[in-house]
């Protein structure tokens, strides 16, 4: 009898192991042309069930593949490693309004450019959170009567120095500054014609072509606009009939692709000519798209809610933050 039990135990162990494997949820994968991305369940979960708070900001990834996420909480910047562990937080003085972030190289060091809608400012900071300088609203432009009209949502460094600032929640103008942070000029302004803007929510200078161009997520015009660096409009990327873009918020390049966070429930990949590659994680429920009040109990793996920013690491993995009150950050691992 003892001998029979000894023979039976390994069989039961294997059977139990197979049962556990069968209970594991199937991986969620998205095909995008020649690449495949897998939704990483549970990535970036905070210890002790803590919430990120409202994630109404952006994402940047530094040279060491550390991920910086802006939130509206007293942990205004949360820094993760590529495996989703929290390395540090900072920015108590920036709570409530940190929105746009960009990395820039200065004297061989990585620095952050920050756009803050609550403070009506652009700021420079170290990766550890030391504020190096602040820049108030562009009074010299003649476009503002008071600082409160200026609600900058995005900042983009320029080749050779200086940067551009998008007043996405304010007047819909884009302002240019030189390397000494002196005001140079403005372009855009409210409207729907080519060159005009309705909530230029995110901007990025694309240096991949023969000449750098400015990409603008012209959110409420449901398009991406392309400008030269002098502010002359070159073209728009828009196809409402085929649902190409839904309220684009921010965009970042990697290789020949551009990721666009589409606020209305999905992430869009475009090729180097700004043609469609794929839509990822499209929420099948229109009632959950572009909403801040969808609670964690209603979230579903494989479905975005309100993608507000998306960015890449050096391996081509994607990180996506949803604009939701409880805070959400998702990793899409590039597996081939």
Give residue 334's pLDDT. Answer: 97
* Residue with more model confidence, 301 or 49: 301
pLDDT at residue 20 tops 70: no
In this prediction, residues 190-194 reach a mean pLDDT of 98
1 inside domain: no
Q: pLDDT (tens digit, 9 = 90+) per residue, 101-117? A: 999 998 889 999 999 99
Q: What is the pLDDT of residue 293?
A: 98
- Please indicate whether residue 10 or residue 77 has the higher confidence score (pLDDT): 77
Does the residue 16 lie in any domain? no
Query: Mind listing the pLDDT tens digit for each residue in 256-290?
Result: 999 999 999 999 999 999 999 999 999 999 999 99
Predicted pLDDT at 336: 87
119 token code pair: 């403070």
- Residue 20 located in a structural domain: no
pLDDT category of residue 6 using cuts at 50, 70 and 90: low
Residue 3 within any structural domain of the chain: no
Distance between CA 127 and CA 147 in Å, rounded? 27
| pLDDT (0 to 100) of residue 22 | 56
pLDDT at 49: 80
CATH code for the domain in which residue 155 is found: 2.120.10.30
Give a yes or no: residue 268 inside a domain.
yes
164 found inside a domain: yes
311 phi and psi angles, rounded to 5 deg: -150, 165
Domains: count for the chain: 1
**Domain-embedded: residue 18:** no
CB 183 within 8 A of CB 152: no
The helix (H) or strand (E) run that includes residue 37 is strand 35-39
Burial class (CB in 10 A: 0-12, 13-18, 19+), 299: middle
Q: Is the pLDDT of residue 58 over 60?
A: yes
Domain that holds residue 79: 26-334
DSSP per-residue codes, 119-132: TTEEEEEETT--EE
CA distance 44 to 294: 19
Q: Is 254 helix (H, G, I), strand (E, B) or coil?
A: strand
Q: List the Cα angle 318/159/262 in 5-degree steps.
A: 30
Show the tokens assigned to 7: 């023979």
**The two structure tokens encoding residue 202:** 């995110």
Mean pLDDT of the chain: 94
**Position 139 in a domain:** yes
């Amino acid at each position: 009898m003892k001998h029979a039990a000894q023979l039976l135990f390994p069989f039961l162990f294997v059977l139990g192991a197979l049962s556990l494997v069968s209970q594991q949820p199937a991986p969620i994968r998205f095909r995008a042309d020649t690449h495949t991305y897998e939704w990483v369940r549970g990535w970036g979960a905070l210890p002790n069930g803590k919430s990120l708070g409202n994630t109404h900001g952006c994402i940047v990834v530094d040279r060491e593949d550390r991920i910086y996420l802006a939130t509206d909480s007293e942990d205004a910047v949360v820094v993760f490693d590529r495996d989703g562990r929290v390395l540090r937080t900072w920015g108590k003085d920036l709570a409530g309004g940190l929105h746009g972030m960009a990395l820039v190289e200065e004297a061989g060091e990585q620095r952050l450019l920050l756009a803050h809608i609550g403070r009506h400012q652009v700021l420079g900071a170290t990766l550890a959170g030391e504020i190096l300088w602040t820049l108030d609203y562009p009074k010299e432009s003649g476009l503002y009567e008071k600082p409160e009209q200026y609600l900058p949502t995005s900042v983009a460094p320029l080749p050779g120095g200086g940067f551009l600032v998008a007043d996405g929640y304010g007047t819909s103008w884009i302002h240019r500054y030189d390397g000494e942070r002196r005001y140079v000029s403005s372009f855009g302004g409210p409207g729907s014609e080519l060159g005009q803007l309705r909530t230029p929510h995110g901007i990025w200078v694309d240096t991949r072509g023969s000449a750098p161009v400015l990409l603008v997520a012209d959110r409420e015009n449901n398009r991406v606009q392309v400008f030269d660096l002098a502010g002359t409009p070159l073209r728009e990327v828009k196809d409402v009939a085929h649902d190409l873009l839904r309220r684009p918020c921010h965009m970042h390049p990697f290789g020949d692709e551009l990721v666009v966070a589409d606020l209305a429930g999905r992430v869009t990949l475009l090729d180097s000519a700004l043609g469609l590659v794929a839509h990822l994680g499209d929420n099948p429920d229109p009632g959950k798209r572009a909403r801040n009040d969808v609670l964690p109990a209603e979230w579903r793996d494989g479905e975005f809610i309100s993608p507000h920013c998306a960015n890449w690491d050096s391996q081509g993995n994607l990180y996506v933050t949803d604009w939701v009150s409880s805070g959400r950050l998702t990793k899409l691992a590039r597996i081939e």
